[in-house]
Amino acid sequence: MPGPGVPRVVSLVPSLTEAVAVSAPGALVGATEWCSHPAGLDVVRVGGTKNPDVPGIVRLAPDLVIANEEENRAPDLADLRAAGLDVLVTEIRTLDQALGELSRVLTACGANRPEWLDRAAASWSQLPVPNDHLRAAIPIWRRPWMVLGRDTFAGDLLHRLGIDNAYATHAERYPRIPLDQLHSEQLDLVVLPDEPYRFTRDDGPEAFPAGLPVALVSGRHLTWYGPSLAEAPGVLSEALRAAFR
């Protein structure tokens, strides 16, 4: 239970759950079933990101519910507000937005600025400017195939690592692209994260032409905005290099 003066917080976003749990110990009283980090998190589970248990959240009487405009549905957030709860909604489509929104969330949760957030900012700001950029498709689902499109947090991280998203100018943020169209693209690389779809060495690479490098990367380091951001440049860079070995 939160101590005196510590706000009661429910998180509907897995990466924000981890950020709050490690930076404001005791503040979290509820989180979604998908909130897997930190390991052993002992809070009330309040359904999923897309189908939260609104009555259950209300019964927890939180001082604050933290959400994200992409991960959570507007009608659910409206219901929480209608029940009298304070809902903080983040918008994160770039690294700079992530760093700013993390600071805002943690302040609202009663935390001082954590050391990991400074390390995250430094680790990305100190990256060398890439000499060359590789053109890549970044599938996030199959059956049907879906890829990163415009204005995505993961796309911004990859761009900073020298990877240009082939669908960065697509009208949709997560377009469905038929596999034959992916094959027709002039790509230098395919990047396959292990979430939201769990691509593995045996599930994903075989769908692309022989000889086309495929990088299997950690979805948590590519798509989560939280403590993993501090080590993400090194983890992702190594996975990208491994595709060309």
pLDDT digits (tens, 9 = 90+) for 75-115: 999 999 999 999 999 999 999 999 999 999 999 999 999 99
Q: Is the pLDDT of residue 1 over 60?
A: no
Q: What is the pLDDT of residue 131?
A: 81
pLDDT at 211 (0 to 100): 93
Peptide bond into 139 cis (omega under 30): no
Q: Which CATH class is domain 9-113?
A: alpha beta
- What ranges do the domains of the chain cover? 9-113, 132-242
CATH number of 132-242: 3.40.50.1980
9-113 and 132-242: identical CATH topology: yes
Residue 3 is predicted with a pLDDT of 53
What is the per-residue pLDDT for 129?
Answer: 85
- Residue 203 clears pLDDT 90, i.e. is over it: yes
Quick: pLDDT tens for 125-184: 999 888 889 999 999 999 999 999 999 999 999 999 999 999 999 999 999 999 999 999
Q: How far apart are CA 233 and CA 245, in angstroms?
A: 19
Mean pLDDT, the chain, integer: 95
Confidence of residue 67 (pLDDT cuts 50, 70, 90): very high
CA angle 65, 68, 73 (to 5 degrees): 90
With tokens 């998190």, the residue in question is: 41
Lookup: tokens for 212 = 């086309």
pLDDT mean over 24-44: 94
Q: What six digits make up the tokens of 209?
A: 């032409």
Cα distance between residue 245 and residue 213, in whole Å: 9
Region 228-243: what's the mean pLDDT?
A: 96
Of residues 103, 91, 56, 92, the one with CA closest to residue 76:
56
